[in-house]
Amino acid sequence: MSVEKLKKVLSNELDDLKEKGTLKGKETIVSGVKRGDSEKGTRYFLLDYPGKEFIRLNSNSYLGMSIREEVIKAEEEAAEVYGAGPGAVRFISGTFKGHIDLENRLASFHGRESAMLFSSAYTTVMGTLAPLITDETIVISDELNHNCIINAIRLSRPKNKSIYKHLNMEGLEEEIKKTIGTCKRLIIVTDGIFSMRGDNAPLNVIMDIAKKYDSSFEENIIVVVDDSHGVGAFGKTGRGTEEYTGAKVDLLIATLGKGLGVNGGYVVGDSVITQYLREKAPFYIYSNPITPPEAAAALKALEILDSPVGIKLLEHLRNVTNRLTDGLVNLGYETIMSEHPVVPLMVRDTKKTADLVAYLKENGVLATGLNYPVVPKGDEEIRFQVCADHTDKDIDYVLGVLKEYKQSRG
């Protein structure tokens, strides 16, 4: 059958994106990795630039775990023992000891009764929110929440949803007050770290507000937090935004694919809730888990994070992050101050963002430009992501490139 008419419609839409400057376009293909030392950090090679070395300032592997030898070894050893893939979903025959060991360790790392793995943080958010949202549930959400939260709410069709202005706690409280008497269950959902900006939700304040109004709801107020960019990157011991704000939320979701450097997602919380989710979450029931080698690698990364080595990596990460942030400010660039290794350079223009990204790439620096609709119009930015395998010299090199750019463009 012909798809010519459909192709025409889709091509027009793609042309439209190109016209607006928001087409993501051809993907960069990484063709090699060279480990660094204390002077010169890890370097990456790209298929289209044979022999050229790049500093990668757009990776989520904040602690460098994805290329850490102990983590790779753990993955290889588990592959030898269990094979490459799970071969089935969890409830059929796809639950391996490595999954259970990892869940137990994640629960104790976060001080919770239980943990439950999913194949990604995206599916964890979908798989957690959808079963918990009934037609007697209202959801209140921060306006800058990640796409997975937005889609999870759409998929779940709650009784109602309301959005509060980014980090605006008076707005949140107002929305809660409006819902009293109109639903049984209220879910407040937020990112921990907002991945486009590196700022964080005041989880302690959110928990205090939730406690204040909890008795007005027949089935409680449940605070659900996706801290995918926080765990393994933020807080003195890498426990993320909860640690940074001194809060303990009802359900904490995070990824194994950023700070922990592997792949997969998880939720931690009360064991009755996770037991319920294992029975009800389609993303868990009908989809393969992470592989046993991935589970072993993530467990090893978690053990490293939860050790003096992890504390040192986090300390270095904070130092190099501050070096970049201070450097940007000194050069007269606009940024958002935060201790988190996402360091935004606010350009506030789509074309200028693309120009700077291209200049950085020409000079051996990989960074990502973020445009509408990924960020609101007017918030176009370059998102730098600092990692523990960057050195002071790497950061100084990047700042040197940015200085030259400013001089050349005026």
Q: Binding ligand PLP by CB under 6 A: which of 191, 243, 379, 380?
A: 191
Q: Is 380 in the site for ligand PLP (CB under 6 A)?
A: no
Stretch that binds ligand PLP, among 43-51, 224-232, 364-372, 377-385 (CB under 6 A): 224-232
Give the three-class secondary structure for 399. helix
- List, in order, residues 6 or more apart from 340 with CB less than 8 Å away: 193, 198, 199, 200, 229, 230, 233, 234, 321
Q: Is 121 in the site for ligand PLP (CB under 6 A)?
A: yes
We find the least distance from the C-beta atom of residue 263 to ligand PLP, in angstroms, to be 7
User: Toward ligand PLP, which CB reaches closer, 255 or 325?
Assistant: 255
Interaction mask 238-257, ligand PLP, x per CB under 6 A:
-----------------x-x
Q: E strands within 192-242?
A: 221-226
Q: Which residues pair with 55 in a beta bridge?
A: 365
Residues 152, 158, 162, 166, Cα dihedral to 10°: -20
We find the least distance from the C-beta atom of residue 3 to ligand PLP, in angstroms, to be 30
Q: Is 228 in the site for ligand PLP (CB under 6 A)?
A: yes
Alpha-carbon gap, residue 293 to 98, rounded angstroms: 8
User: Toward ligand PLP, which CB reaches closer, 340 or 390?
Assistant: 340
We find the least distance from the C-beta atom of residue 146 to ligand PLP, in angstroms, to be 4
Pairing of strands 368-370, 251-255: unpaired
Pairing of strands 160-164, 137-142: parallel
Stretch that binds ligand PLP, among 44-52, 114-122, 150-158, 281-289 (CB under 6 A): 114-122
We find the least distance from the C-beta atom of residue 121 to ligand PLP, in angstroms, to be 3
Q: Is 381 in the site for ligand PLP (CB under 6 A)?
A: no
CB 216 within 8 A of CB 180: yes
We find the least distance from the C-beta atom of residue 240 to ligand PLP, in angstroms, to be 11
Residues 254-273 that bind ligand PLP (CB under 6 A): 255, 257, 265
User: Toward ligand PLP, which CB reaches closer, 109 or 397?
Assistant: 109
Residue type at 337 in one-letter notation: M
Q: Is 190 in the site for ligand PLP (CB under 6 A)?
A: no
User: Toward ligand PLP, which CB reaches closer, 114 or 128?
Assistant: 128
Q: Is 371 in the site for ligand PLP (CB under 6 A)?
A: no
User: Toward ligand PLP, which CB reaches closer, 74 or 152?
Assistant: 152
Question: How many residues bind ligand PLP, per CB under 6 A?
Answer: 13
Residues 134-163 that bind ligand PLP (CB under 6 A): 146, 148
Alpha-carbon gap, residue 317 to 320, rounded angstroms: 5
Q: Is 120 in the site for ligand PLP (CB under 6 A)?
A: yes
User: Toward ligand PLP, which CB reaches closer, 227 or 394?
Assistant: 227
> In sequence order, what DSSP letters do the residues of 101-151 get, joined into one string?
HHHHHHHHHTT-SEEEEESSHHHHHHHHHHHH--TTEEEEEETT--HHHHH
**Among the residues of 157-256, which ranges form H helices?**
169-179, 203-213, 241-245
> In sequence order, what DSSP letters do the residues of 50-90 get, joined into one string?
TT--BEE-B-S-TTSGGG-HHHHHHHHHHHHHH-SS--S-I
Would you tell me how many other CB atoms lie within 10 Å of the CB of residue 90?
A: 19
Among residues 193, 27, 185, the alpha carbon closest in space to that of 121 is found at 193
Where do contacts with ligand PLP occur on this chain (CB under 6 A)?
120-122, 146, 148, 191, 195, 226, 228-229, 255, 257, 265
